[in-house]
Structure 1
Amino acid sequence: MIVLNEESIVKEIVNEYPRTSDIFKRYQIDFCCGGNNSLLHAVENKAISLEQLMSELHESVQNEQNKLDQPDIWTNSSSEQLIQHIQEYYHAELKEELPALSPYVTKVSRVHGERKPELLRVNELFYALKKELLEHTEKEEQEVFPILIQLEQDQANPADQLQSLMEEHREVGQILAELRSVTSNFTPPHDACGTYRLVYKRLERLEEQTFMHIHLENNILFPRYS
């Protein structure tokens, strides 16, 4: 794990904490071809406050480190507490990460797709995954979760709604499985550029987060209503 300071190398920060790439992109700091620069050198001759940049990077790194969930603590929670956690932790993450990752996936597919045709499939799978997950989370928040909170008090059985959600979870799992296969376990080729590597790293992290998200629902929340 790197120590974040003004001498930290830009590409090494992105390698360790992929979400920081969004900050560098916003400040127009090259983390790809020019990623060998230190933070101090990266802001030279730019109207960028190093102090502000460091503050934003520290916040992003802290948020990314906080994404290490501990699902065991939720086994004895109320459904309302668990649902709130899922929405604030996983749903909010998806709503932020999927749109943020989209332009990177599109760019890598457009620039390298002719030479690496598997990237065209990565692009298709990612946008299918994005559509599925965003529609799924909206359905949970607007339709299913309010019912579950009410049913926790009424002791009813929402079997049909939960079965539908679990089918959608299986579809998401199939997309992720193909993404892992077509990317050779998210392993970029040796000559891949920084953005190419970033996409694979963030896709792998998205897979990890989605699997834990589904675990909390399939194995802890939903069985309470069976």
Structure 2
Amino acid sequence: MSLLNHSLAALARDLPGATRVFHHYRLDYCCGGHALLSEALAERGLDSAEVLARLEALPARNESDINWAEAGTNELIDHILARYHQVHRQQLPELVQLARRVEAVHEDNPLCPKGLAEHLEAMRQELESHMQKEEQILFPMLRRGLFAPAQGPISVMRMEHDDHGEALARLARLTHDFSLPAGACASWQALYTGINELQTDLMQHIHLENNILFNSAQRQEVQHG
């Protein structure tokens, strides 16, 4: 079956390196992962032959690569906590400080991302609340195999993930699609580099939860229900 007939979520899960291609073309594989690749390309007006060529040229998975779709629940949760929860808690306070500095110094520049620091601080608070709910309620339930009671919290987390996706879209608008002026200072460059890293990390974080961890919990709930 052609890759065009697979969902973005399935390709992100099963095709190593696909997420890098999706980031390049700004295809949402985490919150919008249910869409078929053909549908997503048509919506964005992208050249399907070009994107398919990029995907088909990706190297096969190395034996050392971890396929998170085949990992156990505890292993995947441990990875999410260490690779994403801890990292977001480092990323966002630093980005807020950088944004405040850039907005204060360059407020007269037409490309100044006015309102960015406030938005990043709101994202920090919302993400912290979200991660605490996962750490204190949902993840302990999943570790104990309480898949049926976990379905309510999972539904809430999915809705909050959609909110995070909208917050990421607003980041692009506030930064004029991350457009730097000629001769941008080091702080401005570091700010946009950091935001791009945050966007990549948060999308992968949501993908691992929505498309692997939560889907697995729902399948097991059906099997054991």
TM-score w.r.t. the length of structure 2 is: 0.64
- Residue among 47, 66, 91 paired with 1:97: 91
1:147 equivalent to 2:174? Answer no
**Ranges in structure 1 where 5+ consecutive residues have no aligned partner:** 1-69
Residue 111 of structure 1: aligned partner? 105
Q: Is the contact made by 1:157 and 1:225 (CA closer than 8 Å) also made in structure 2?
A: no
Question: Is the deviation greater in 192-201 or in 116-125?
Answer: 116-125
SS in 2 for 1:190: coil
**Structure 2 counterparts to residues 140-219 of structure 1, below 5 A:** 140-151=134-145, 154-219=146-211
- Residue among 131, 137, 160 paired with 1:137: 131
Distance change in 2, residues 1:155/1:125 (3 Å):
closer
Deviation sequence 1:118-137 (CA, Å, 0-9, x none): 52222222111111111111
Distance change in 2, residues 1:207/1:138 (3 Å):
same
Deviation sequence 1:126-180 (CA, Å, 0-9, x none): 11111111111111111110011112xx553522100100111111110111111
- Residue among 78, 87, 101 paired with 2:81: 87
| Pairs aligned (count) | 155
The Cα shift of 1:92 comes to: 0.9
After TM superposition, where is structure 1 displaced by more than 4 Å over at least 4 residues in a row? none
Q: Is the contact made by 1:148 and 1:158 (CA closer than 8 Å) also made in structure 2?
A: yes
Deviation sequence 1:64-92 (CA, Å, 0-9, x none): xxxxxx98611111111100100011111
- Residue among 114, 120, 125 paired with 1:126: 120
Bigger RCO (CA 8 Å, 6+ sep): 2
Q: Is the contact made by 2:111 and 2:179 (CA closer than 8 Å) also made in structure 1?
A: no
Q: Once superposed, what is the RMSD of the aligned Cα atoms?
A: 2.0
Instruction: Among all aligned residue pairs of Structure 1 and Structure 2, give the percentage whose two residues are the same amino acid.
Output: 32
Q: Is the contact made by 2:178 and 2:192 (CA closer than 8 Å) also made in structure 1?
A: yes
